[in-house]
């Protein structure tokens, strides 16, 4: 039984060691494909793998079809827009994610990004404090709830909205429910985005929502670049010199945004929300355990393509 870990953005070494212990402890073989430059390398490496662990690596129909004996693929992380679930189902491959395992790392980055922008990207210009400001959390799942709790501890007022949660559930989770997305954007000094990239959400945050934000507001994106309508964002930033955008996933037009809006825009050089040894250990080891549990006991908890 061969378990392939294919990560363009590798896990911390300590997480790989932990994955190895679980995989080899179960009597399986571990193969590593790290920092690969070409998708063809993944296509070729998957050929004789029985199980696959990935991060944001693209598990396309081509990858699935190139595998001769793949039984399970686990996305060590939350968002699974990188998995072709239809191709997995067609080939009888079980697909899973590891929800919540890297959530704290992403939540900490969202808070750090807010403060970084409030302090003008750590330039000497006089900034502002986040205490007393209102944060709106768009999607109150594992990451959103942690952002809310941390923001509250920093003295912020927390509002949230989530299409899968009732107002009562949001209140029970410690936030004030917003009645609509429009209300959330209109009333919050910071909006932190935690929605997945799906056909319904792609391009859904654009000019209309962004220009509803109050004076001096900042949009914080640690989710996916695809959920932002980039042209709409650019137009909003051009019309409203008080608005800011900070993201962990650089938009395609980042160079234009940087040259036109300077320190009002910031993007990390590489998506790094989940890039902590703790998150790598949590998500990587969970993925390895889920594989062993599936192969040995048929456990399908966290299966995405049921």
Query: Is residue 144 a contact residue for ligand 3PG (CB under 6 A)?
Result: no
- 141 touches ligand 3PG (CB under 6 A): no
Q: Does 96 bind ligand 3PG (CB under 6 A)?
A: no
| Closest separation in Å from C-beta 227 to ligand 3PG | 12
**Shortest distance, position 102 Cβ to ligand 3PG, whole Å:** 5
Q: CA 44, CA 286: separation in Å to the nearest integer?
A: 25
56 binds ligand 3PG (CB under 6 A): yes
Q: Give the residue among 219, 232, 164 at the shortest CA–CA distance from 188.
A: 219
Binders of ligand 3PG in range 5-24 (CB under 6 A): 9
- For residues 116 and 74, the answer to whether their CB atoms sit within 8 Å is no
Residue 169 backbone phi and psi in degrees, to 5: -65, -35
Which residue in the set 10, 18, 77, 177 belongs to the binding site for ligand 3PG (CB under 6 A)?
77
Q: Which of residues 271-290 bind ligand 3PG (CB under 6 A)?
A: 271, 273-275
Q: Which of 67, 102, 187, 218 binds ligand 3PG (CB under 6 A)?
A: 102
In the complex, the smallest distance separating the C-beta of residue 110 from ligand 3PG, rounded to whole angstroms, is 12
* Segment lying near ligand 3PG (by CB under 6 A), choices 33-41, 74-82, 205-213, 287-295: 74-82
- Residue 225 sits in the site that holds ligand 3PG (CB under 6 A): no
- Closest among 12, 230, 240 to 105, alpha carbons compared: 12
Binding region for ligand 3PG (CB under 6 A) out of 29-37, 165-173, 238-246, 267-275: 267-275
Is 250 among the residues that bind ligand 3PG (CB under 6 A)? Answer: no
Helix 13-25 to helix 277-297 angle (10° resolution) is: 10
- Closest separation in Å from C-beta 132 to ligand 3PG: 30
Cβ-contact 135, 158 below 8 angstroms = yes
Which one among 74, 78, 135, 291 touches ligand 3PG, defined by CB under 6 A? 78
Residues that bind ligand 3PG (CB under 6 A): 9, 55-56, 77-79, 102, 271, 273-275
């Amino acid at each position: 039984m061969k378990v392939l870990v294919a990560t363009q953005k590798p896990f911390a070494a300590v997480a790989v060691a932990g994955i190895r212990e679980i995989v080899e402890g179960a009597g399986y073989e571990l193969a590593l494909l790290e920092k690969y430059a070409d998708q063809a390398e993944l296509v070729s490496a998957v050929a004789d793998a029985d199980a696959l662990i990935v991060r944001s690596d693209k598990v396309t129909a081509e990858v699935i079809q190139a595998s001769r004996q793949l039984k399970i693929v686990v996305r060590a992380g939350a968002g699974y827009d990188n998995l072709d679930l239809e191709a997995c189902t067609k080939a009888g491959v079980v697909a899973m994610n590891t929800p919540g395992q890297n959530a704290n790392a992403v939540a900490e980055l969202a808070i750090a990004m807010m403060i970084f922008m409030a302090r003008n990207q750590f330039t000497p210009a006089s900034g502002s404090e986040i205490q007393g400001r209102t944060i709106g959390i768009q999607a109150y799942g594992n990451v959103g709830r942690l952002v809310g709790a941390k923001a509250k501890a920093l003295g912020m007022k927390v509002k949230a909205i989530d299409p899968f949660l009732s107002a009562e559930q949001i209140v029970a989770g410690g936030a004030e429910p917003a009645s609509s997305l429009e209300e959330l954007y209109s009333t919050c000094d910071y909006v932190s985005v935690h929605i997945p990239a799906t056909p319904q959400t792609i391009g859904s945050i654009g000019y209309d929502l962004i220009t509803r934000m109050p004076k001096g507001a900042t949009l914080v994106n640690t989710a996916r670049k695809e959920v932002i309508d980039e042209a709409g964002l650019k137009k909003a930033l051009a019309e409203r010199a008080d608005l800011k955008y900070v993201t962990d996933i650089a938009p395609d037009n980042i160079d234009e945004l940087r040259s036109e809006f300077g320190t009002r825009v910031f993007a990390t050089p590489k998506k790094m929300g989940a890039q902590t040894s703790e998150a790598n250990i949590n998500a990587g080891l969970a993925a390895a355990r889920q594989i062993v549990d599936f192969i040995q006991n048929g456990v399908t908890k966290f299966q995405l393509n049921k």
